[in-house]
Amino acid sequence: TSLPLDHKSDEYWLFRVKARIKLLKVSFLQTLGAEGKLLPRCQEVPDEQCKRMDGSDIIVVSHPWLAKGHPDPTGIQLSQLVQALSDLERKGVIDANIGVFYDFCSLPQASRNDKEQALFEYQLRGMRSLYVASNSRVLVLPHVPESAESSRPYIERGWCFFELCIAAEHERIINPDDVKHLCEELPQTPEDFLKKFSAKRFTNRGDQRAVLAQYLDVLIKAALYAADFDRII
């Protein structure tokens, strides 16, 4: 395993300030689920239903998109998310006031204006930080219904594979028992990662190169942190 990224570091502080990522309130998600509504795209999420990235703990959801235009067109994923959050709160693992990152609701979605596009590109370049930061708790929702428009399994998707790999490596996954079967098959070396990564699929062709660059950045930083730690001890 690797040391998580210190969420108090200058690097992460700069990212969270400039990225302006929307974190959803748990109560907002619960209300959507209770009223049978779908998750709204980021630009339609009311500001009063969001929390700021202020350095406190956050939930980062790793999930497959079940359709090209909407990640959860039937609401099944929202239902799973609300149930998982309720279970974690009941067990005392998380606080009810924790902020939740869910890409469709947290990052500007198409169609984006020029300002939103620039912000989205910046957010995407730093996305790896969310899955390895010391204040992040990654909740993995891997279920893909057979009837889904996009029915490719979670582990065969490039972004999902990447998120799971780095979150597991940095021990950020909050529901490890639910994804134990997936984690058992994860690569143990960078060489193994590259071999398996080459077979993963992306909806957007350019994402493969971007994700690979982020993985290499995580790898380099992990090596540097380990070197510093070794000098300290």
Which tokens in the block code for residue 69?
A: 């235009």
Looking at per-residue confidence, does 35 or 229 come out higher?
Answer: 35
What is the tens place of the pLDDT at every residue in 35-65?
Answer: 999 999 999 999 999 999 999 999 999 999 9
Mean pLDDT of all residues belonging to the chain: 94
Per-residue model confidence (pLDDT) at position 120: 97
**Strand-pair partners of 51:** 23
pLDDT in tens, 205-221: 889 999 999 999 999 88
Q: How far is CA 14 from CA 10, 18, 122, 181, in A?
A: 6, 6, 12, 36
Of all residues in the chain, the percent with pLDDT exceeding 70 is 96
Over range 181-191, report the average pLDDT. Answer: 95
pTM, to two decimals:
0.95
Q: How confident is the model at residue 224 (pLDDT cuts 50, 70, 90)?
A: confident
- Residue 8 in contact with residue 57, Cβ under 8 Å? no
pLDDT band at 228 (very low <50, low <70, confident <90, very high): low
Taking only the tens place, the pLDDT of each residue in 66-90 is: 999 999 999 999 999 999 999 999 9
Confidence class for position 233, pLDDT limits 50, 70, 90? very low
CA gap 71, 139 in Å, rounded: 16
pLDDT above 50: residue 13: yes
Whether 78 and 35 have beta carbons less than 8 Å apart is answered as: no
Gap between the Cα atoms of 107 and 37, Å rounded: 19
Distances, alpha carbon 21 to alpha carbons 7, 50, 138, 190, 230, in Å: 15, 9, 16, 29, 34
What confidence category does residue 222 fall into, taking pLDDT thresholds of 50, 70 and 90?
confident
pLDDT category of residue 230 using cuts at 50, 70 and 90: very low
